[in-house]
Amino acid sequence: MPSADINYLTVLVAAILSMVIGAIWYSPQVFGTQWMKLTGKKEKDFKEGGSSGYVVAGLGFLLINYVMAHFVQYAGSNTLATGVETGFWLWLGFSASVLAINSAFSLRPQKLWAIDAGYYLACFLVSGALLATWV
């Protein structure tokens, strides 16, 4: 396997940006209200036990961006456009498809898949761009 020179600060910043995108994406002004309606969740559900979700998401995005940094380098992505392209293909192959399979078998509404997959698309595009250009 080829080696990759990982910029850990970039990985950290990309993970933090993914969390910021999530805070905006799932806010009541964007998709939060619709997402809660589709999942059957209420705000109080997150106030009672929501902090563990942030820990898991933060660690998950650190791992996602660490692995994505490898793929960005393996693909030779070193411009904004090629970083976005790499992020798109990683999203399509590993995130959108996994979410679609999970949604299909759990009988979740397609609109819920679109909200969640759209969030990951935004994260993967931003992360791909950042990881490709911030050396």
Mean pLDDT of 20-45: 93
User: What's the domain count of the chain?
Assistant: 1
Q: Answer whether residue 3 is part of any domain.
A: no
Q: Answer whether residue 98 is part of any domain.
A: yes
Q: Answer whether residue 51 is part of any domain.
A: yes
Q: Answer whether residue 83 is part of any domain.
A: yes
Q: Answer whether residue 35 is part of any domain.
A: yes
Q: Which two tokens stand for residue 99?
A: 């979410």
The rounded distance, in Å, linking the Cα atoms of 133 and 97 is 27
The whole domain housing 98 covers: 8-133
- The predicted pLDDT at position 69 comes to 97
Q: Answer whether residue 1 is part of any domain.
A: no
Q: Which two tokens stand for residue 25?
A: 């994406």
60-119 tens-digit pLDDT: 999 999 999 999 999 999 999 999 999 999 999 999 999 999 999 999 999 999 999 999
Q: Answer whether residue 2 is part of any domain.
A: no
Instruction: Give the other-Cβ count within 10 Å of 69's Cβ.
Output: 23
Average pLDDT of the chain to the nearest whole number = 94
- The predicted pLDDT at position 61 comes to 98
